[in-house]
Structure 1
Amino acid sequence: MVTVEVDPVRVESRLSGGAIACPSCVGGVLGGWGFARSRQVEGLDHPVRPRRARCRSCLVTHVLLPVTVLLRRAHGAEQIWMALSTRAEGVGHRRIAAWLQVPPATVRGWLRRAGQRLEPMRAWFLTVAVRTGIDVTIPDGFGCGWRDLVAALRCAVAAIGQRFGPAGLLGAVTPAQVMAAASGSRLLAPGWPPLARGV
């Protein structure tokens, strides 16, 4: 599974030009290989039909997910980001669910999964910020894991904006997009982030 931009024309152009590296092998590039099944994602205007790609070297296939969705989630990355950032303000899952018009059990699941890995996620996004930005200022801790996570993600967004310009290479860079791209769309997936195993 590979995270790509939303614009299918750009994705096709990069696939045909051999500009998407294979995450399974060294030196391999991906080429088009059909499509995954179409699915409706809550919070997005149109159904998502992810592109499939196959490595030209190792022949492993991958699904290319746009940065607007997370792996195995029926709601868009923007809704999940709003839930996490609102939780950092001290709001409970029922109020967040009512505000987003999402079932409370769904929001509770997002928050439980994120709550189990707040520090590794914060460290991951700070690492993205430091590796991407120039003279990145690490935010002070707030004494609240949720607020620290949101601050780290915003730091990564600022670093990416600093490196590639305020509009980014492909348009405005949002926290939800950085959250999806920096995690490879695996933000709430089991076993992510990788450094969680070492903590």
Structure 2
Amino acid sequence: MSVSMLFAVVGLLWPSLTASFMSASGSIRPRYPATQSTNTCLFDSQTIFEIELDMPPSNSGNKARLKFGSVLSVPSELVEVRYKLPFGLDVAPLKNLAVCTKDGAGGERAGDVLRYSSQWIMGLPSGEGLAATAAFTGIGPTWQCTMFDVMKAKNWEKVVEALTSNVDTRTDEVVLLFERPLESAPELQT
């Protein structure tokens, strides 16, 4: 598999899950350089986050607009992280959140909460009239990139599925959106 991930806490809870992220040789793949976007939004108790992201693959020209409220009880900001594939990520379930367990090469920090991840799903082409056109011309489902809302995941396996859907046969990058506390947030310390 071209995507490798490190899940420190999950590895202890579900050893078989960690094994699925190992390369054929059985070793965890190294992290690859990433860029941290300057696309950040600060939390304001009067408003909610609003952000526009360039969607994978890097040359698609597609954008996503997200609007959502904070999950933290302290002031926070959004941090967009992009990794080239394959990528490594240290995230584990903690208090019903997907929390970063250690700093990463892409700019994520321990204590950041993973809010959204790019994910690839099968579906009909979208856009003005494309679904109707596809139905009449016989165009079938294709892989499409969407933003997966981690807070709406029914279980941890759904988060893992979204992250691992970002493979090099579909895209050249993964987009991750983290919520970062601006102050120390003791309830998220790992």
TM-score higher than 0.5: no
Higher RCO, 1 or 2 (CA under 8 Å, sep at least 6)? Answer: 2
Structure number with higher strand proportion: 2
Q: TM-score, normalised by structure 2?
A: 0.28
In terms of fraction of residues, the more helix-rich structure is 1
